[in-house]
């Protein structure tokens, strides 16, 4: 078995230590660690990269702290519309869903699109009909409701503003209720196959059926065994225009750059020029890992079979050796 690895994120934005309480920090660290452990166990047991990223995302979607699945933000109309995507770097198979409602784990639905339909990208009511056909778990509106998200939305719902989950908010208010963060995972398994997955509630007060970068293959999510698996988080519009995840793949393929060099080029140069705030996580087929962001912080964690283990929220990373 070759080296295997898993990297996850829980969103990027204006996340500052000065605004964080010890209890909230702990809750985030625990949430990240739990998802990392569940996904990593799949790899340790010889499972595939696709199954590892899916398992990690399900845990994050079920955690109210993060803006994905349960705990998703409110749209202009006061409902949750969720986006998710998954891609298999071994086959370039991919599945995405956008603007789905009441689906407990949108990543499970994206997986069904990838494996059980002849399509790549389903949206809205059609995607919900497919969820029913496939027996994907649905939940009532109340399941997704959180008072904090509601209050966050109430503050801007009468305006034309929409906001990235972690930015342009009263952070004191945010911290009180401890919830935000699009989620993503990338993995390299023991056979050298890689995969990527991303899931989000999108941006608070979004309207007109707005869809961000997360479910768009090549923008927020991409995987190809030849180069990298990438999951992005941040202000979706510039990430779409930069075709950010695929651009990392292209830089690696055409210039021979390493994973980290290519991610730095996209996040710290191309996206910065476009005011694209956020970051991304990546792996390559040798099991190398990277986490790069241009925002104040990014919830993130990684673990590799060579003993690497690190969790971070702000710029600095906590390195935790694994015995």
Burial 159-169 (b: 16+ CB within 10 A, else e): eeebbbbbbeb
Choose, from 167, 182, 200, 233, the residue flagged as catalytic.
Answer: 182
Shortest distance in whole angstroms from residue 278 CB to ligand ASP: 6
DSSP code for 77 = T
DSSP code for 166 = T
Q: Please give the residue ranges that form the binding site for ligand ASP (CB under 6 A).
A: 11, 67, 164-165, 182, 200, 202-203, 212-214, 220, 233-234, 236
CB closer to ligand ASP out of 9 and 54:
9
Tokens of 5: 């690895």
Shortest distance in whole angstroms from residue 44 CB to ligand ASP: 29
**Bridge partners, 241 (sequence order):** none
CB closer to ligand ASP out of 15 and 43:
15
CB closer to ligand ASP out of 42 and 292:
292
Shortest distance in whole angstroms from residue 202 CB to ligand ASP: 4
How far, in Å, CA of 202 to CA of 225, rounded?
28
How far, in Å, CA of 300 to CA of 313, rounded?
6
Query: Does the active-site annotation cover 182?
Result: yes
Label residue 97 exposed, middle or buried (CB < 10 Å: 0-12, 13-18, 19+): buried
Task: Write down the number of H helices and E strands in the chain.
Answer: 11, 13
CA atoms within 13 A on the CB side of 304: 19
Closest by CA to 227, choosing from 268, 189, 204, 256, is 256
CB closer to ligand ASP out of 199 and 288:
199
How far, in Å, CA of 191 to CA of 42, rounded?
13
Shortest distance in whole angstroms from residue 11 CB to ligand ASP: 5
Shortest distance in whole angstroms from residue 235 CB to ligand ASP: 6
Enumerate the active-site residues: 182
């Amino acid at each position: 078995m070759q080296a295997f690895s898993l990297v996850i994120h829980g969103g990027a934005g204006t996340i500052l230590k000065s605004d964080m309480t010890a209890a909230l920090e702990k809750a985030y660290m625990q949430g990240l660690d739990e998802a990392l452990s569940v996904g990593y166990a799949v790899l340790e047991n010889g499972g595939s990269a696709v199954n590892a990223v899916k398992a990690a995302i399900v845990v994050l979607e079920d955690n109210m702290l993060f803006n994905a699945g349960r705990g998703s933000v409110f749209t202009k109309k006061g409902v949750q519309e969720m986006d998710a995507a998954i891609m298999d770097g071994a086959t370039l198979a991919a599945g995405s869903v956008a603007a789905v409602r009441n689906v407990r784990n949108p990543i499970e639905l994206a997986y069904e699109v990838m494996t059980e339909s002849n399509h790549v990208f389903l949206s809205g009511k059609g995607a919900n009909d497919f969820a029913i056909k496939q027996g994907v778990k649905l939940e009532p509106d109340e399941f997704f409701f959180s008072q904090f998200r509601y209050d966050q939305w109430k503050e801007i719902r009468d305006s034309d503003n929409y906001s990235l989950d972690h930015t342009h908010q009263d952070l004191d208010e945010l911290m009180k209720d401890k919830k935000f963060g699009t989620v993503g995972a990338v993995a390299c398994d023991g056979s050298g196959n890689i995969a990527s997955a991303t899931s989000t509630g999108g941006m608070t007060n979004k309207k007109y059926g707005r869809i961000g970068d997360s479910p768009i293959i090549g923008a927020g999510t991409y995987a190809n065994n030849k180069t990298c698996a990438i999951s992005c988080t941040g202000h979706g519009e510039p990430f779409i225009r930069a075709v950010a995840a695929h651009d990392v793949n292209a830089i690696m393929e055409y210039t021979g750059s390493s994973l980290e060099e290519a991610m730095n080029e996209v996040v710290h140069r191309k996206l910065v020029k476009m005011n694209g705030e956020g970051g991304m996580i990546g792996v390559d087929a040798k099991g190398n890992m990277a986490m790069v962001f241009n925002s104040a912080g990014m919830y993130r964690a990684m673990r590799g079979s060579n003993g690497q283990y690190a969790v971070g929220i702000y710029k600095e990373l906590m390195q935790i050796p694994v015995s």
